[in-house]
Amino acid sequence: MEKVFHFDSPPEPYVADAAVLCCFDQRIRLAVYKFLQKRGILRPDMIVVAGGAKTLASPRNDFERDFILEQVRMSILLHKTERVFLMSHSDCATYGGLAAFGGDPDKEARHHKQELGRAAELIRGKFPEVQVACFFITFQGVFATGENSIEQVA
Ligand SMILES: [Zn+2]
Phi and psi angles of residue 139, each rounded to the nearest 5 degrees, phi first: -80, 0
The continuous run of DSSP H or E covering 20 comes out as strand 18-22
* Cα 22 to Cα 146: distance, rounded to the nearest angstrom: 18
Could you tell me the sign of the dihedral formed by the alpha carbons of 146, 55, 70, 126, in that order?
A: positive
Strand 44-48 versus strand 18-22 pairing type: parallel
Distance 38 CA to ligand 1 centre (A): 22
Q: What CATH number has the domain spanning 18-144?
A: 3.40.1050.10
Distance 147 CA to ligand 1 centre (A): 22
* Residues near ligand 1 ion, CB 5 Å cutoff: 23, 25, 92
pLDDT of residue 147: 64
Q: Write the DSSP symbol of residue 102.
A: T
Would you list the domain boundaries of the chain? 18-144
Distance 49 CA to ligand 1 centre (A): 8
Can you list the residues of the chain whose pLDDT is less than 50? 151-154
pLDDT of residue 150: 53
